């Protein structure tokens, strides 16, 4: 498994859990809001395991901001991580998976995509767009034997959620 995060401490902690359970892990310390972050994740997977069988797009950030108060910087940062990164990662992974005619791409959306709360304008909008991206990806991938799934979980106990408004998830 390749794990990616901005924090070296988080990567080390998750890697220890994977190794203690008997798994194999590679790490990619990246900021997915930056150009090249997705590329480094794919390179880590190929360098460590030679291929990609499953991609889980789970990285997300959230700003707890009312619609009229959302700044361009907030909008751009959320869309970069929550939408552009899954697009780039999926595109790169699909190129590899289609050669094998096998693979899974799993996009983690949110129930906030089903009805976007006013205080979660950027997050909810990005997750709704991720659902649309998943539909387009599904249509492209199916002819190559690759499965695409989008999951919309409710609130999950994460550090991101603990710092936000109820209704995020």
Q: Put residue 119 in one of left, alpha, beta given phi > 0 → left and psi -120 to 50 → alpha.
A: alpha
Q: Count CA atoms within 13 Å of residue 137 on its CB side.
A: 30
Question: Nearest CA to 164 among 94, 93, 66, 17?
Answer: 66
Tokens of 86: 């899954």
Which residues form the catalytic set?
A: 123
């Amino acid at each position: 498994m390749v794990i990616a995060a901005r924090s070296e401490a988080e990567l080390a902690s998750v890697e220890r859990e994977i190794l203690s359970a008997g798994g194999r892990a590679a790490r990619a310390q990246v900021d997915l809001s930056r150009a090249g972050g997705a590329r480094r994740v794919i390179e880590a997977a190929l360098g460590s395991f030679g291929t990609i069988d499953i991609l889980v797009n789970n990285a997300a950030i959230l700003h707890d901001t009312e619609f009229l108060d959302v700044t361009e910087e907030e909008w751009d940062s959320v869309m970069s991580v929550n939408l552009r990164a899954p697009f780039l990662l999926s595109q790169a992974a699909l190129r590899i998976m289609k050669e094998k005619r096998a693979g899974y791409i799993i996009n983690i959306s949110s129930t906030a995509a089903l009805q976007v709360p006013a205080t979660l304008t950027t997050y909810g909008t990005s997750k709704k767009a991720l659902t649309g991206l998943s539909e387009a990806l599904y249509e492209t991938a199916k002819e190559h034997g690759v499965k695409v799934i989008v999951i919309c979980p409710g609130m999950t106990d994460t550090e991101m959620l603990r710092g936000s408004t109820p209704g995020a998830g």
